[in-house]
Amino acid sequence: MTTQTNRHINLSLFTSVINIFKRYIIPTVVVALLFGNRATAQDRTITLDEAIKLGVESSNVVKLSHAKIDEAVSRYEQAKDGAKPTGKASFGYNRAEILANKLSLGSQTISLPKNDNAWLGNVSFSETILGGGKLRYAQQSTELLTQAARLDADNDKDQITYDIINSYYMLYKVLQSKKVVEQNLSSIDQQIKQSQRFFDQGLVTKNDVLRFQLQRANIELNGIDLETNRKIVNYDLDVLLGLPETTQLNIAEIREADRSIGPVTNYIDTALATRVELRELDVRSKVAETGIKNVKANTLPTLAASGSAYYIGTNANPFPQSGNYIAPIVFGLNLSWSFSSLWDNKNKVAEAKIQRDEVDLNKAITINNVKREVNENYQNYVMALDKIKLLQTSIDQAGENNKILESKYKSNVASATDRADAETLLYQAQINLELAKADAGLAYYTLIKSTGKLNK
């Protein structure tokens, strides 16, 4: 009896466990697997071209620039509409209740009805034949401003592209530095094991072991700083590219340090022909010239043609009935001239000319700034390439020195301090080389941006 009872209890307990497993454990595992796969799917290796494409497509700044272009185009179309004839039509009903309907004029008395009806209709149009060219100048001005809006959009796109490139290379620098840290941690771990064996054998002191452990701690601290920087740069790049903010980005290999470079004059000439700021100032100069012509047009007469048709009905019925309405049609030409503009328009013209001169002076200043900017970026890129060559040589030297001291340390000829110093020099040289390569790549794109050819 007791055995059967225990068996029944065990079976019930087993059934309960199975039900709990089905209801809670299995769904939990499935959810964990799903989220685990999702987290893995959020890791993404991306090339620079892919990053630029994503960033430009998702940039609200670029979208705003296109909205400004649409606004400028709309204003241009409105200016074109201003040259078309104007017209309007109206039709209305009026009823008059005449309270005092008799009027005595000496011996004559005029009697009016107690009330009356009136239907008034009007259709008119007007067309400017000669307006001093003001409508044409308005169209030219808005068309030029549309061109300026497009140039602004190009400039915004260049800036967004450069921001993406800058963040891309910053992340590359951090990731490469982290790789060097991992390599050096692996190497220093081997050195710690070796020094511990030497200590156990009585070949080195405990202080020698502690030196390697201290070196490892310093490398770990550097790794912590790098990981913090990686998270910050990765997040910023996710936002720039319009990706989920939890996406962990990996940088595809870049080889920007091998690019050939020509004379600095070639880059300066390209910048003067391509830079958006200079092209936009050319457009602004044309706008200023058009503004001068528009102001001068104030002194010219205007000629306009007009036409009107009227309907005046005195019957309560709005439809025309013989003898109850009149319908005059009027055509005309109107020539007008505000001759006071001959003496009060001179200062307006002078102001417009000053504005044009300001644009020209601004262009001259911008040209000098562009030349200096291109030259500075060119020299920085050349310096970055030279640094890579020197650092590569220093790595070779540090590597050879590290091998020699490693051999001496194993032979108990060199001290642990010398061995640690040699390792540190090699570690620092490796980091400096990776950073220099990234700096050279970014310096190249900085130079190209200053020539106005970043997106061309």
pTM value surpassing 0.75: no
* Same domain, residue pair 97 and 171: no
pLDDT < 70 positions in the chain: 1-41, 130-134, 137, 255-258, 318, 320-321, 415-417
* Same domain, residue pair 288 and 373: yes
| Residue 18 covered by a domain | no
* Same domain, residue pair 269 and 279: yes
| Residue 6 covered by a domain | no
| Residue 39 covered by a domain | no
CATH number at residue 357: 1.20.1600.10
* Same domain, residue pair 234 and 363: yes
Residues 6+ apart with CB under 8 A from 118: 93, 94, 95, 96, 312, 313, 314
The domain tally of the chain equals 2
| Residue 31 covered by a domain | no
| Residue 36 covered by a domain | no
Instruction: Give, in order, the Cα–Cα distances in Å from 51 to each of 167, 174, 229.
Output: 10, 17, 19
| Residue 312 covered by a domain | yes
Lookup result for tokens 């039900």: 19
* Same domain, residue pair 59 and 189: yes
The predicted structure's pLDDT at residue 5: 44
* Same domain, residue pair 237 and 274: yes
Where in the sequence is the domain holding 115, given as residue range(s)? 90-127+302-336
The predicted structure's pLDDT at residue 189: 82
Asked if residues 59 and 154 have their Cβ atoms less than 8 Å apart, the reply is no
Question: Please, what sign has the CA dihedral across residues 11, 16, 22, 25?
Answer: negative
| Residue 306 covered by a domain | yes
The predicted structure's pLDDT at residue 44: 84
The predicted structure's pLDDT at residue 21: 41
* Same domain, residue pair 294 and 149: yes
The predicted structure's pLDDT at residue 256: 61
The predicted structure's pLDDT at residue 375: 96
* Same domain, residue pair 419 and 350: yes
* Same domain, residue pair 107 and 247: no
The predicted structure's pLDDT at residue 269: 93
Characterize the bridge pairing of strands 102-105 and 248-251. unpaired
| Residue 429 covered by a domain | yes
* Same domain, residue pair 313 and 343: no
- d(C-alpha 92, C-alpha 200), whole Å: 114
* Same domain, residue pair 327 and 234: no
* Same domain, residue pair 115 and 162: no
The predicted structure's pLDDT at residue 131: 65
Asked if residues 449 and 274 have their Cβ atoms less than 8 Å apart, the reply is no
